[in-house]
Chains A and B, each alone.
Chain A
């Protein structure tokens, strides 16, 4: 169990798809200062993963859901939130956009 000090909060972070493979885990618990926003969290994650094969482009195309609702970078997180990092979705069947290959 992570000890949480005053002024700090605990959030549960979920990873999906390619992010789950990159981080090597489906979920983890993070302790962050109160007032941390989704954008702050992404930046923290970005720093942690700078040594992984995690391109900036991939972060830019990642959406974030807080408690199962799409969220924006300015949203402030609260203690106990479930934060999911979502790569571009690819459900359904065939790709809509076929890339042209010579």
Chain B
């Protein structure tokens, strides 16, 4: 299992090529790239930051869980931090499996879960300002929650 957080460009083709084995019938790749706009507002670049040690541990767990849950053979997840320009890869997920259905499912589950639970944040800079991107709310079991504040 290749799980990495990197500060430079992600060599997607190399990672994908390295994931293929004789017993695989499918390799499913999710290549997340920086889009040039958000709802029509022109994006200049994104800055990613992470709680690095925890993010890596969370990604390792997700990878292992995907293998367990979906019965795929192997998983690679690489997330890049720092300033990324339009078109650059921020996250690469590769799932290798004997069959395509489980590869698709595992890949989808990995990116969806990463975006909810792995402590990585991005700030989006537009031509006319910058914002920390609103994440999705944490799953209930992870949120410290309003009770922590109001009690």
Contact = CB atoms under 8 A, between A and B. Distances in A.
Interface string B133-146: 11111100111111
B57 A92 contact: no
Interface of B: 32-35, 38-39, 48-51, 53-55, 57, 79, 90-91, 111-112, 114-123, 132-138, 141-149, 151
Contact of A89 (B35, B38, B111, B118): B118
A23 interface: no
A73 B146 CA distance: 9
Interface in A23-38: 38
A88 B142 CA distance: 11
B79 to A, nearest CB: 6
Interface in A53-71: 56, 59-65, 68-71
Contacts, number: 136
Contacts of A59: 146, 148-149
B119 A16 contact: yes
A7 B122 CA distance: 39
Contacts of A8: none
A93 B49 contact: no
Interface string A88-99: 111111111111
A73 B50 contact: no
Contacts of A63: 138, 142-144
15 contacts: A39-B151, A43-B148, A62-B143, A63-B144, A64-B144, A69-B54, A86-B119, A89-B136, A91-B48, A91-B50, A91-B91, A91-B120, A91-B121, A95-B133, A101-B39
A46 to B, nearest CB: 6
B151 A73 contact: yes
A30 to B, nearest CB: 16
Contacts of B146: 59-60
Contacts of A46: 149
Contact of A84 (B51, B91, B134, B148): B51
Given A68-B57, A87-B132, 12 more contacts: A17-B123, A39-B149, A63-B143, A72-B144, A87-B135, A88-B134, A89-B121, A90-B121, A90-B134, A91-B79, A92-B120, A93-B91
A94 B46 CA distance: 11
